[in-house]
Amino acid sequence: MAIVLEEKQQSSWKTIITVLLIIGFFAGGAYFLFFKEVPGIETIVPSQLKSTSELSKVQFDPAGVMNSDAFRALRRYAGQPSIGQVGRSNPFIRF
């Protein structure tokens, strides 16, 4: 009886295609990561930024808000929270 030490392996098309796809995936990733030009910030910024820049220029007067009739008409319906008893004086004694 003969002992076969090494059999001839045939490479299948599935293995070759899988290896080529993996190499292509990494090559494409390297291209997009290292060689592709990064788009400028002006192409990414939405058109609503114009209204945001207008809002940043608005002047706010806290005294005007505090002295306005609408602010003075507001009422407080709940009182200040009180601090209750928290825990026990000796947490190691039995109940």
Which residues constitute the domain of residue 66? 13-37+45-73
pLDDT in tens, 16-71: 999 999 999 999 999 988 888 876 665 566 667 767 777 788 888 899 989 999 99
Q: How many domains, in total, are found in the chain?
A: 1
61: in domain: yes
29: in domain: yes
Residue 43 vs residue 95, higher pLDDT: 95
pLDDT the model gives residue 26: 97
C-alpha closest to that of 63 among 72, 54, 52, 74? 72
Residue 74, CA distances (Å) to 66, 67, 69, 70 in order: 11, 12, 9, 7
pTM of the model: 0.35
8: in domain: no
84: in domain: no
30: in domain: yes
Residue 51 vs residue 92, higher pLDDT: 92
81: in domain: no
* Backbone phi and psi for residue 45, each to the nearest 5 degrees, phi listed first: -65, 130
80: in domain: no
88: in domain: no
